[in-house]
Amino acid sequence: MSTQENFYDVIVVGAGPGGSAAAEKCAGHGLKTLLIEKEKLPRDKPCGGLCIDYLKELIELYGSEINDIVEGRTEILKVYLNQNIVFSKNYPIDSFLRKKLDYFITNKAIKSGANVIDNCAVNNIVIGRNKVQVSTEKGLFNSKIIIGADGVNSIVAKKTGLNEGWNKNDVSLAMESEIKMSSKEIEKRFGNCIFIYTYSNFLGYEWVIPKKGCVNIGLGTSVSRSRNLKERFEDLAKRLNIKVKPADIKAHMIPLNLLKKTYKERVLLCGDAGGFVYPLMGAGIETAIRSGRAAADLCNEAVENNDFSLKRFKKYETYCDYFVKEIKKSRLQLSIFEFCLKYKLLNRFLITRLFRSMVR
Ligand SMILES: Cc1cc2nc3c(=O)[nH]c(=O)nc-3n(C[C@H](O)[C@H](O)[C@H](O)COP(=O)(O)OP(=O)(O)OC[C@H]3O[C@@H](n4cnc5c(N)ncnc54)[C@H](O)[C@@H]3O)c2cc1C
């Protein structure tokens, strides 16, 4: 490949929802875009796949065919405290299989004109005066801007000094398994409900999400309290009378706090890489897509003005402001949850208030 061929307006690292959304919009703006993914695509991601109140926006962004890959459409949300029901609401909630959702958006990026290279880990990034140099398993690539959408352990965030490592209290560890089950069995055992279980001695929650032909069960808590998480997961499966093979249990971290800075000259972080997650629920699909699209708009502005200065990139804060406000509110709710747990104040009323806020 010639140097010219290897030079992009934007290189996006990571083909999750954040990176794929960013690449789709960058290419849509007419920017020469490269999306680099470490895994072979389509790849899976440990996740509940819940998208609460977000399907309408996804349809507006990517067309009604996204309906074809919705895997679960439940009608009732039930929340428990210490095994007693505290809150039940008729509320339609959609869920996805991440392998399908993420690849759907990646394909939208390809259709918009982005180049995609998978099976290719990024190893190093050097931010120069006039370009960004990206070293990968498949060679060197250069660009005007880099978007780090490479998840909670982002190499882009590390190599650019935007994240020197998460504080133990600022990340959670979550575990899940997607267990195959017939629709008849799912209907009989879980009906059309999502179940959330909270406890007065556990900073986190357990979930049961019925989908088409499978049920997703899981739990998450802050990393600083994640000892015995596997045993807790096994208890959950036992209580639900579900057999889970150890190989089918997947775990991954979720950020619980925004990074102090999610940008610098020629660099933007989106999704988990920047900490764009609703911390109370550990939900980050919506915010990954929103921050990915915001990053793409800023790239377009920077390339149009040939301005890659810090002053220009600081505008990312404004682009993200509308959903960062919600993230901060969710962080406050998590702190209230933590406080009440510590001082044994957690009760039916508080759990109802906290979890009601997630269904708008
Ligand atoms: C158990 C669990 C349950 C969850 N449930 C929900 C839920 O129900 N709803 C919800 O909204 N959120 C949920 N989340 C959170 C959600 O999964 C994340 O917030 C979301 O995946 C963030 O998307 P992203 O695009 O930022 O990053 P990711 O989806 O993590 O994608 C990052 C991509 O970058 C790639 N990558 C990493 N390093 C490199 C590298 N060096 N070079 C190239 N590529 C690289 C990875 O392979 C990956 O494909 C859950 C998380 C967990 C762990």
* Helix, strand, coil percentages in the chain from 3-state DSSP, rounded to 5: 40, 30, 30
Please check whether residues 208 and 320 belong to one and the same domain: no
Please check whether residues 23 and 117 belong to one and the same domain: yes
Query: What distance in angstroms lies between residue 49's CA and the mean position of ligand 1's atoms?
Result: 11
Give the pLDDT mean for 168-185.
Answer: 94
Separation in Å, CA 344 to CA 86, 169, 189, 332: 17, 20, 33, 18
Percent of the chain with pLDDT over 70: 98
Q: Is residue 54 part of a domain?
A: no
Query: What distance in angstroms lies between residue 171's CA and the mean position of ligand 1's atoms?
Result: 13
Arithmetic mean of pLDDT over the chain: 95
Please check whether residues 275 and 331 belong to one and the same domain: yes
Please check whether residues 343 and 282 belong to one and the same domain: yes
Residue 225 pLDDT: 79
Convert the pLDDT of each residue in 277-286 to its tens digit: 999 999 999 9
Q: Is residue 354 part of a domain?
A: no
Query: What distance in angstroms lies between residue 18's CA and the mean position of ligand 1's atoms?
Result: 8
Convert the pLDDT of each residue in 125-155 to its tens digit: 999 999 999 999 999 999 999 999 999 999 9
Decide if pLDDT at 252 tops 90. yes
Decide if pLDDT at 360 tops 80. no
User: Which of 214, 231, 254 delimits the end of a domain?
Assistant: 254
Confidence label for 172 from pLDDT (cuts 50, 70 and 90): very high
> What domain count does the chain have?
2
Please check whether residues 12 and 118 belong to one and the same domain: yes
Secondary structure E strands in 39-105: 50-51, 70-81, 84-96
Convert the pLDDT of each residue in 310-329 to its tens digit: 999 999 999 999 999 999 99
User: Which of 231, 254, 277 delimits the end of a domain?
Assistant: 254
Least confident of 12-16, 170-174, 220-224, 331-335: 220-224
Residue 218's domain spans which residues?
72-93+168-254
Q: Which atom of ligand 1 is nearest to the CA of 150?
A: 34
Query: What distance in angstroms lies between residue 273's CA and the mean position of ligand 1's atoms?
Result: 9
Please check whether residues 287 and 339 belong to one and the same domain: yes
Please check whether residues 20 and 106 belong to one and the same domain: yes
The reply to whether ligand 1 has any atom less than 6 angstroms from the CB of 36 is: yes
Please check whether residues 248 and 263 belong to one and the same domain: no
Give the pLDDT mean for 70-80.
Answer: 95
For ligand 1, atom 19, name the residue with the nearest CA: 284
- What CATH number corresponds to the domain at position 29? 3.50.50.60
> What is the distance between the alpha carbons of residues 97 and 13, in angstroms, rounded to a whole number?
22
Q: Is residue 320 part of a domain?
A: yes
Decide if pLDDT at 1 tops 60. no
User: Which of 254, 269, 304 delimits the end of a domain?
Assistant: 254
Please check whether residues 212 and 262 belong to one and the same domain: no
> What is the distance between the alpha carbons of residues 294 and 5, in angstroms, rounded to a whole number?
26
Give the pLDDT mean for 90-118.
Answer: 97
Both tokens of 47, joined, read 């996740």
Please check whether residues 32 and 110 belong to one and the same domain: yes
What separation, in Å, do the N-terminal and C-terminal C-alpha atoms of the chain show? 51
Residue 357 pLDDT: 78
Residue 248 pLDDT: 94
Convert the pLDDT of each residue in 38-47 to its tens digit: 999 999 999 9
> What is the distance between the alpha carbons of residues 231 and 200, in angstroms, rounded to a whole number?
18
